[in-house]
């Protein structure tokens, strides 16, 4: 239960940093014209050790905004956005890097994504056998 609360707190704080506080003035009126030509793409990405998000303690969290330009607290937002655009926002389609060899040491790493990709709600979780496997498959997206 404590770990779930930690994940929730980390996601909530990071989401507040990305989206800002919700106030009555921030809510668009029905039928209002969109304020941007781009569908929103704002994500909160987390990494932690454990078998799943419910039991893992989040160790790092970043924000990633990809429209209209790459931004956020992600250390290489441009690369991460380019990789996601290449897969159409499909995290399962991220390809492993060629020539990377990882040990078979089992030290599970779980990644999560919450937010919006091109106007569509995103909720993603994946567990990797260890950090090397995670890094080889996710490239720049989870490199933080």
Percentages (nearest 5) of helix, strand, coil residues in the chain: 30, 25, 45
Query: Measured in Å, how far apart are the chain's first and last C-alpha atoms?
Result: 26
The answer to the question of residue 24 being in a domain is: no
The answer to the question of residue 28 being in a domain is: no
**According to the model, what pLDDT value does residue 132 have?**
92
The answer to the question of residue 30 being in a domain is: no
Token digits of residue 96:
């492993």
CATH of the domain at 105: 3.30.350.10
Q: Which domain holds residue 77?
A: 2-14+36-138
Domain count of the fold of the chain: 1
Torsion of Cα atoms, 119 then 75 then 87 then 130, to 10°? -120
Residue for token digits 């909720």?
Answer: 123
Per-residue pLDDT tens over the stretch 37-90: 667 889 999 999 999 999 898 999 999 999 888 999 999 999 999 999 999 999
């Amino acid at each position: 239960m404590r770990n779930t609360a930690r994940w929730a707190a980390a996601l909530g704080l990071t989401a507040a940093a990305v989206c800002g506080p919700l106030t009555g003035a921030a809510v668009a009126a029905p039928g209002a014209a969109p304020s941007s030509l781009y569908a929103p793409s704002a994500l909160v990405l987390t990494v932690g050790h454990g078998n799943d998000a419910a039991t893992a303690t989040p160790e790092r969290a970043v924000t990633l905004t990809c429209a209209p330009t790459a931004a956020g607290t992600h250390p290489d937002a441009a690369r991460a956005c380019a990789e996601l655009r290449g897969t159409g926002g499909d995290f399962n389609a991220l390809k492993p890097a060629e020539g990377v060899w990882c040990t078979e040491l089992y030290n599970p790493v779980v990644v999560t994504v919450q937010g919006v990709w091109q106007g569509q709600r995103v909720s993603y979780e994946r567990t990797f056998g260890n950090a090397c496997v995670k890094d080889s498959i996710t490239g720049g997206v989870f490199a933080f």
